[in-house]
Amino acid sequence: MSVASGEMQRLRTPLSVVMIARNEESVIGDAIVSAGFADEVVVLDNGSTDRTCAIAREKGAVVHCGEWLGFGAQKNRAVSLARHDWVFVLDCDERITSALQDEIRAELLQPSCSAYQVARLNSFFGSFIRHGGLYPDYSIRLFDRRAARFNDVPVHESVQSNGVVGRLQQHMMHLAYESIEEFIDKQNRYSSLQAGGRSRLKALLHPPWTFFRFYILKGGLFDGWIGFLLARLYAQYTFWKYIK
């Protein structure tokens, strides 16, 4: 670390990177390494039966264990375990790029907002996707926990802020799905969690609109075959959501 970067590290607001995990041994190590610029990394584990906890500790994270509370409540619990008020919430299959690390360091020298949206560059089946509404895929990830928290929903949780929300320029990487089978399995589970308004009419009308919006209006066609495939898969997810 250079003298200048060391001085920046000393002067900036301290940061905790927070993660939730369960059986993530194949991806959690690299995620923690990408968060190594922070003052601490906190992992809240929910009953892993593989080496997730051991790997997290080996990589320098502070590991806590607890029962599953639902996505929103679980992340709020993890945030509450951090030593510092400023947190960055990272999923195990995400990576904080070096450019984003530098931007976060610089912003925390004198934060101008109480929360910041961060873009994700998503990888599906080995390809990074820049169309179809999947990029820049902004969500609040960096925030002061005294002014923001996750809403308490079972899936597709998001941070709600009481203060000014800014937007960082650099993106993080999201290794979303390695295979079609993995995508179908997770979206099937998510559609069950989000179900609650069974409607044959919506099951008939919404999937075609989802495909058209993703593939045509949002430019998924520019991602080639993967763009077509994702439009088709998200349309299927929409069907499951309204038929269950």
Mean pLDDT of 91-98: 98
Least confident of 2-16, 53-67, 136-150, 187-201: 2-16
Domains for the chain: give ranges and CATH numbers: 3-177 (3.90.550.10), 180-243 (no CATH)
Q: Are 86 and 142 in contact (CB under 8 A)?
A: yes
Percent of the chain with pLDDT over 90: 85
For residue 3, the model assigns a pLDDT of 41
Cα distances from 130 to residues 2, 195, 223, in angstroms, run 35, 28, 7
Q: Does 215 have pLDDT greater than 70?
A: yes
Please state the φ and ψ torsions of residue 19, each to the nearest 5 degrees. -140, 150
Mean pLDDT of 151-164: 91
pTM for the model stands at: 0.86
DSSP 193: H
Higher pLDDT, 211 or 12: 211
Q: What is the largest CA-CA distance in the chain?
A: 64
Q: Does 181 have pLDDT greater than 50?
A: yes
Q: Compute the distance between CA of residue 57 and CA of residue 244 in angstroms, rounded to an integer.
A: 40
Token pair, residue 20, equals 């939730």
Mean pLDDT score of the chain, rounded to an integer? 93
Please state the φ and ψ torsions of residue 93, each to the nearest 5 degrees. -100, 20
Place of tokens 């990830």: 141
Mean pLDDT of 201-210: 95
pLDDT in tens, 6-23: 555 556 899 999 999 999
Mean pLDDT of 93-99: 98
Q: Does 196 have pLDDT greater than 70?
A: no
Q: Compute the distance between CA of residue 54 and CA of residue 225 in angstroms, rounded to an integer.
A: 39
Cα distances from 104 to residues 2, 35, 69, 97, 98, in angstroms, run 17, 11, 29, 11, 10
Q: Are 73 and 3 in contact (CB under 8 A)?
A: no
Q: What H or E segment, with its residue span, contains residue 94?
A: strand 94-95
